[in-house]
Amino acid sequence: MTEDVIIAKEGRIGRIALNRPKAIHALNLAMCRAMIDALVAWRDDAAVEAVIIEHSEGRGFCAGGDIRMLAESGAKDGVEARAFFHTEYRLNHLLFTYAKPVVAFMDGITMGGGVGISQPAKYRVATEHTRFAMPETGIGLFPDVGGGWYLPRLEGRVGQYLALTGARLDGAECLALGIATHYLPSEKLAEAKARIAAHPDRIGGILGELSATAPHAAVMDHLDKINRLFASDRYEDILAALEADGSDWAQKERDTLGTKSPQTCKVALRQLKEGAAMPDFAAEMAQEYAIGARVVQMHDFLEGVRALIVDKDNSPKWDPPTPEAVSDAWIDAIFAPLPDEETWTPLP
């Protein structure tokens, strides 16, 4: 058991509380293993009727995965990074297929790995503190943990917009787009959790009673522009559309994309296009594992982590440096299936 996650039974529920406040509860391998062990044990435990996933304290639900560890591993043989991805994706898949209702409280920063453990939940609760994003293109990674499944299933081209720009959504925007199922004021969360523990057969009703009217969801004001300007699955077309549009909004988004890894943006667009057609979530995770196993050892990820997380100079030197320089063959190699003995598999 790891102290980085608190696992307990309370009333008629199982409770998982992420407990790395100094790292905004970023996931590490031990946390993923502990959550898997608990969920597997509770699967056949009649005393546990539902599961709550939350964070113990601090300003975020979960800021992602242990990026620094991934980069240090990727700079060597990548073995530790692949082990983390393999286990994290098994956790994501276990939650996606879990037979008992799961409630995720996305109170605060919910990014990367935090998206992976909240989006599979039947009930996804946003608050005024929620800040949801998949910011991986900024560090040369890609929107993994099932991003290729969830993002293309959002309204219009919002998923592609979020994947490319790393735009942050607040709680109201999460509710409007269906990323969250409920919007609660944060002062109601303790009551919600206590009532769910006592009456896990009434989760929907409890969350409904405690819900508040969400503020205006600003992202909805831009849906027409997002759908029009991010319409293509070809990255160069999106950049050209933004440049040609001339609006302040389009210029701001074009400037944002200018800071992202061209390789990662092309990976993300293909990932979402193929993810939209995946037969099931396991197939999506197998593909994301193949991508991750390669990308974690590539220049752009190591450089992105150096520039944004280690040195913090915020000026990564991407290679290939331009979208035009990232060939289809380059992307094909990243997406190629792994050898059978290295392929990701769900929990047996």
Of 66, 107, 144, 300, catalytic: 144
Q: Please, are residues 53 and 104 in contact by the beta-carbon 8 Å criterion?
A: yes
247-281 in b/e burial notation, b at 16+ Cβ within 10 A?
A: eeebeebbebbebbbbbbbbbbbbbbebbeebeeb
Contacts for 145 with CB less than 8 Å, ≥ 6 apart: 65, 88, 89, 92, 112, 113, 115, 116, 117, 288
| CA–CA dist 147, 142 (Å, integer) | 9
For residue 205 the two structure tokens come to 């009703």
Of 54, 66, 88, 136, catalytic: 136
**β-strand partners of 14:** 9, 51
Identify whether 340 is a catalytic site residue.
Answer: no
| CA–CA dist 190, 87 (Å, integer) | 30
Of 247, 286, 44, nearest to 146 (Cα)? 286
| CA–CA dist 308, 82 (Å, integer) | 22
Identify whether 116 is a catalytic site residue.
Answer: no
Identify whether 128 is a catalytic site residue.
Answer: no
Contacts for 12 with CB less than 8 Å, ≥ 6 apart: 47, 48, 49, 50, 197, 198, 199, 200
| CA–CA dist 108, 61 (Å, integer) | 5
Of 64, 113, 114, 304, catalytic: 113
Of 11, 60, 65, 138, catalytic: 65
Identify whether 58 is a catalytic site residue.
Answer: no
Q: Which amino acid is at 151?
A: L
Rg (CA), the chain: 20
Q: Please, are residues 318 and 140 in contact by the beta-carbon 8 Å criterion?
A: yes
Tell me the catalytic residues: 65, 113, 136, 144
